[in-house]
């Protein structure tokens, strides 16, 4: 069991191997499809000009993601009317939708951890090796349990994207996750897929 506090160093990342359990503490940011597309188009590939509060948000999140983590999560949030935000449910969403973006986002921000469920592909695994970073699998179906590890909501950016797609800046304590992709080119998800294909071929040939 590892206890990691954000920001995470390169040395700490390289110690982690697939299968390791981690309690993660510190400040993380939620982000799903809309956020990743916005990051890539506006700041990584610069295919669109910043507008509105884009530059202000970028300056706010950049130091948090340097050595930090992004969580693929569309939370259920109470207190939207009052601004006294509280996470009611904070379960992970499927990560594969971010595969076209994730590696470039990790490199651009020097981001050390991606949290979600279901794993990611070869592009993200390559970024985990290069940055270095890890993919941390959160427990699907445990949204209320995970929400208990959220100590407070510090801020929210891009609420105009919608509550699930906004960037929620949260402080977590002892957030339970498992390393399923590490910085040593190992992926539990790739291993499972390979073994599944071998078994499928065996069944089809019998």
Measure the CA–CA gap between 34 and 129, rounded to whole angstroms: 25
36, 72, 137, 157: which one is catalytic?
36
> Angle CA(111)–CA(114)–CA(115) in degrees, nearest 5?
145
C-alpha count within 13 angstroms, C-beta hemisphere, residue 192: 10
CA distance 163 to 89: 12
Handedness of CA 106, 190, 18, 33 (dihedral sign): positive
**Rounded distance between C-alpha atoms, residue 108 and residue 115, angstroms:** 17
Instruction: Give the whole-angstrom CA distance, residue 200 versus residue 39.
Output: 39
Compute the C-alpha angle 63/42/93, nearest 5°. 70
Concerning whether 129 is annotated as a catalytic residue, the answer is no
- Residues with active-site annotation: 36
């Amino acid at each position: 069991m590892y206890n990691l506090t954000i920001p995470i160093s390169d040395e700490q990342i390289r110690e982690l191997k697939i299968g390791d359990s981690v309690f993660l503490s510190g400040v993380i940011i939620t982000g799903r499809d809309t956020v990743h597309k916005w990051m890539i188009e506006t700041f990584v590939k610069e295919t669109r000009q910043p507008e509105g509060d884009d530059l202000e948000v970028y300056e706010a999140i950049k130091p948090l993601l340097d050595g930090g983590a992004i969580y693929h999560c569309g939370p259920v949030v109470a207190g939207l009317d009052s601004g006294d935000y509280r996470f009611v449910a904070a379960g992970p969403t499927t990560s594969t939708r971010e595969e076209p973006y994730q590696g470039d986002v990790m490199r651009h921000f020097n981001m050390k951890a991606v949290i979600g469920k279901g794993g990611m592909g070869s592009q993200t695994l390559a970024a985990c090796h290069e940055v270095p970073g890890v993919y941390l699998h959160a427990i699907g179906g445990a949204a209320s349990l995970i929400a208990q590890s959220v100590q407070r909501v510090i801020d929210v950016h891009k609420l105009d994207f919608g509550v699930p797609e906004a960037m929620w800046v949260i402080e977590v304590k002892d957030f339970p996750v498992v390393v399923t992709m590490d910085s040593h080119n190992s992926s539990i998800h790739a291993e499972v897929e390979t073994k599944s294909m071998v078994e499928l071929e065996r069944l089809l040939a019998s």
